[in-house]
């Protein structure tokens, strides 16, 4: 692949490989959240590092840190500075512990905060669950953050931090935009300057339906990756249609997202994807 092609492909630019696999680091509950039980930030950070390094040892191409333990999540404007500070510290430590690119997802839909974390921690990309349009989630009405986030990214000099944006994101109802097709929503994501598009299932760990992939592909020329549901068993079928994947639950003990990452599960998935790349 020529240098000019790599430069135009954001996934190649970050990960340097076809169909990159990004391991999801689900952080334990952070201080101030309902499920936090008084652990030191060092202990929370060490767990995140263990998961990240296991992903790397197993052959994953990147990691995404996420405050998934902070259930129930808040809308972006209510996420406290203590969460942003903790995530920045964890992100910096993870980045120093692994040699693969690191990304940030600040739940729920905290794109501006995620950019602040990425800038402080040296992360390469963020995940934005609702970049354009709006939907109704457990956190209430969740609106697209692209306008605020892109201005903030320019303000802090973080234009090198890329945006991976969901289309038709999970854990919510899309009745507000039900008169617009998934393809149209994907077109909006590209029009509002996302770099990579994410197609996902209905809940954490759910696989991406073929119809969803087809609809997203129809609406955008950007790279499209899976945001949930990839396993060693279905990777060959689903990733044949996609440009990469964020994977978490299936690589944890017993396939449960809050458990630790298991090396043998990572290796099994990586082996399947390497076979796919070689075809």
Quick: pLDDT tens for 81-97: 999 999 999 999 999 99
Please state the domain count of the chain.
1
SS (H, E, C) 58-87: HCCCEEEEECHHHCCCCCHHHCCHHHHHHH
Q: Which domain holds residue 262?
A: 20-272
Residue 212 domain-assigned (yes or no): yes
Instruction: Give residue 171's pLDDT band: very low, low, confident or very high (50, 70, 90).
Output: low
Quick: pLDDT tens for 32-82: 999 999 999 999 999 999 999 999 999 999 999 999 999 999 999 999 999
Residue 10 domain-assigned (yes or no): no
Q: How far apart are the first and last CA of the chain?
A: 16
Residue 73 domain-assigned (yes or no): yes
Q: Is pLDDT at 222 greater than 60 in this prediction?
A: yes
DSSP code per residue over the chain = --HHHHHH-HHHHHH-SSS-EEEEEEPPPPTTSTT--S--HHHHHHHHHHHHHHHHHHT-SEEEEE-GGGPSP--GGG--HHHHHHHHHHHHHHHHH-SS-EEEE-TTT-HHHHHHHHHHHT-SEEEES-SSSEEEETTEEEE--HHHHHHHHHHTT-TTSEEEEEES-SSEE-GGGTTS-HHHHHHHHHHTT-SEEEE--SSTTPPPPHHHHHHHHHH--S-EEE-S---TTTHHHHHTTSS-EEE-GGGBGGG-TTSPB-HHHHHHHHHHHHHHHH-
pLDDT at 169: 76
pLDDT at 177: 77
Q: Is pLDDT at 3 greater than 50 in this prediction?
A: no
d(CA 203, CA 193): 26
Q: Is pLDDT at 8 greater than 90 in this prediction?
A: no
Q: What is the mean pLDDT of residues 122-129?
A: 97
Q: Is pLDDT at 165 greater than 50 in this prediction?
A: yes
pLDDT at 207: 75
- Are the beta carbons of 162 and 125 closer than 8 angstroms? yes
Least trusted range by pLDDT, from 116-130, 163-177, 241-255: 163-177
Instruction: Give residue 252's pLDDT band: very low, low, confident or very high (50, 70, 90).
Output: very high
pLDDT at 1: 47
pLDDT at 112: 98
Quick: pLDDT tens for 139-154: 999 999 999 999 999 9
Residue 12 domain-assigned (yes or no): no
Residue 277 domain-assigned (yes or no): no
Residue 278 domain-assigned (yes or no): no
CATH code at 268? Answer: 3.20.20.70
Residue 8 domain-assigned (yes or no): no
Instruction: Give residue 2's pLDDT band: very low, low, confident or very high (50, 70, 90).
Output: very low
Least trusted range by pLDDT, from 2-11, 170-179, 209-218: 2-11
Supply the pTM of this predicted model: 0.94
Closest to 161 measured CA to CA, from 185, 139, 193:
193
Residue 121 domain-assigned (yes or no): yes
């Amino acid at each position: 692949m020529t240098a000019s092609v790599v430069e135009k492909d954001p996934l190649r630019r970050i990960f340097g490989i076809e169909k990159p696999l990004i391991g999801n680091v689900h952080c334990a509950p952070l201080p101030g959240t309902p499920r936090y039980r008084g652990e030191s930030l060092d202990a929370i950070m060490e767990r995140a590092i263990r998961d990240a390094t296991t992903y790397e040892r197993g052959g994953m191409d990147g990691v995404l840190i996420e405050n998934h333990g902070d259930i129930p999540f808040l809308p972006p404007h209510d996420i406290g500075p203590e969460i942003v500070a903790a995530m920045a510290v964890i992100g910096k430590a993870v980045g120093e512990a692994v040699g693969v690119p690191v990304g940030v997802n600040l739940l729920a839909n905290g794109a501006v905060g995620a950019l602040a974390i990425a800038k402080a921690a040296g992360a390469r990309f963020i995940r934005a669950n609702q970049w354009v349009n709006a939907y109704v989630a457990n956190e209430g009405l969740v609106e697209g953050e692209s306008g605020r986030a892109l201005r903030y990214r320019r303000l802090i000099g973080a234009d090198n931090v890329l945006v991976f944006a969901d289309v038709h994101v999970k854990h919510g109802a899309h009745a507000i935009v039900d008169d617009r097709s998934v393809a149209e929503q994907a077109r909006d994501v590209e029009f509002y300057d996302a770099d990579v598009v994410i197609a996902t299932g209905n809940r954490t760990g759910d696989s991406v339906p073929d119809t969803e992939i087809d609809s997203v592909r129809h609406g955008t020329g950007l790279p499209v990756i899976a945001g949930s549901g990839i396993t060693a068993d279905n990777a060959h079928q689903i990733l044949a249609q996609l440009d990469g994947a964020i994977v978490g639950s299936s690589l944890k003990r017993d396939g449960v997202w809050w458990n630790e990452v298991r090396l043998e599960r990572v290796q099994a998935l990586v082996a399947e994807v390497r076979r796919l790349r070689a075809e």
